[in-house]
Amino acid sequence: MGAPLWFVSIAALLAFSAADVLDDCQLVGGDKKSAGEQAVLAKLAPLKGKRFEAKTKEGSDDYKYSFVVCGRLSNDSKSTNEGLVQSKEGSTDTSVIGRINDTHIISGTDWILLIYGSGDKYDNHCNSEARKAMVMISCSKKTLRGDFTVVQEERNKSRECFYLFEMDSSLACPPEESHLSVGSILLIVFAVLVAVYIVGGFLYQRFVVGAKGMEQFPNITFWQELGNLMADGCDFVCRSRPRTSDTAYRGVGDDQLAEEPEERDDHLLPM
């Protein structure tokens, strides 16, 4: 009778500890979950499990911060859901700054703030409360995973202390809107109409009217007429000197030029 009970309790213990170790952020707030927070978590999905590192110097000590987005830093069985850990270079000292089973997440237009609570307790600062990590993720269209950096460690208060980090990611950006203005839409519509006119007119002229060559171009005479009119208009508006003065100028002003035609005539006469 003793052995099965033993077995059951070990199995229960194993099942319990397996459920206790998480592979994802667990939002706090009781049984009811915020749909808003879950939507922001879903937005972060492409970065899930990705690891980031940042270093700071405090006096003569170097500290390294390791951060995993909604994942544990270690896979071993002793893992306590640590999502952000501080370690002192050249020593085995580590402090868990935040755990993924105590996650808050909020967002705005172009930022996401990920908060891991339930870190290791401060030794003497902040009334020995649990450490807390805040990671500010700002919109940057250029990168999915930008540099992860330490902004500040606030521990000069008697409560609500925190470690603040920041990084850039395109995931924090607002969804892309169509940037087409009314003007460009009109332009596109116009271009499409022109294309339809040319292609449709071409097909009509070729297959219904049976036109060949340039005649296949729709309303060719009208457009040629218009072209001529425009050329005339331009001639009239743009030319600084009236056309007729051209010949007069030659005859009066430039003797050499005026002579040339006569010379040619001379050569031609004897033949």
- Tell the smallest beta-carbon distance from residue 165 to ligand NAG (Å): 14
Rg (CA), the chain: 40
Nearer to ligand NAG, 116 or 205 (CB): 116
Per residue in 122-149, is it b (16+ CB within 10 Å) or e — as a string? eeebbeebbbbbbbbbebbeeeebbebe
Among 118, 126, 165, 166, contact with ligand NAG (rule: CB under 6 A): 118
Among 80, 87, 138, 149, contact with ligand NAG (rule: CB under 6 A): 80
Any bridge partners for residue 259, and if so which? none
132 touching ligand NAG, by CB under 6 A: no
User: Which H or E run contains 189?
Assistant: helix 182-203
54: its two tokens: 């940042």
Among 41, 44, 95, 99, contact with ligand NAG (rule: CB under 6 A): 99
184 touching ligand NAG, by CB under 6 A: no
Among 66, 86, 101, 169, contact with ligand NAG (rule: CB under 6 A): 101
User: Which H or E run contains 215?
Assistant: none
- Tell the smallest beta-carbon distance from residue 9 to ligand NAG (Å): 20
Closest CA to 96 of 69, 70, 130: 130
* Residue reference for tokens 């939002």: 27
Nearer to ligand NAG, 100 or 112 (CB): 100
| Count of residues engaged in binding ligand NAG, rule: CB under 6 A | 13
CA separation for the pair 116, 69 (Å, rounded):
10
- Tell the smallest beta-carbon distance from residue 76 to ligand NAG (Å): 9
Per-residue binding letters, 139-178, with ligand NAG (x by CB under 6 A): -------------x-x-x----------------------
81 touching ligand NAG, by CB under 6 A: yes
Instruction: For residue 245, give Cα distances in angstroms to 238, 242, 262.
Output: 15, 6, 20
- What is the distance of C-alpha 241 from the center of its chain? 56
20 touching ligand NAG, by CB under 6 A: yes
* Residue reference for tokens 């339809």: 196
CA separation for the pair 27, 71 (Å, rounded):
13
Among 67, 69, 95, 102, contact with ligand NAG (rule: CB under 6 A): 102
The residues that touch ligand NAG, with contacts defined as CB under 6 A, are: 20, 28, 74-75, 80-81, 99, 101-102, 118, 152, 154, 156
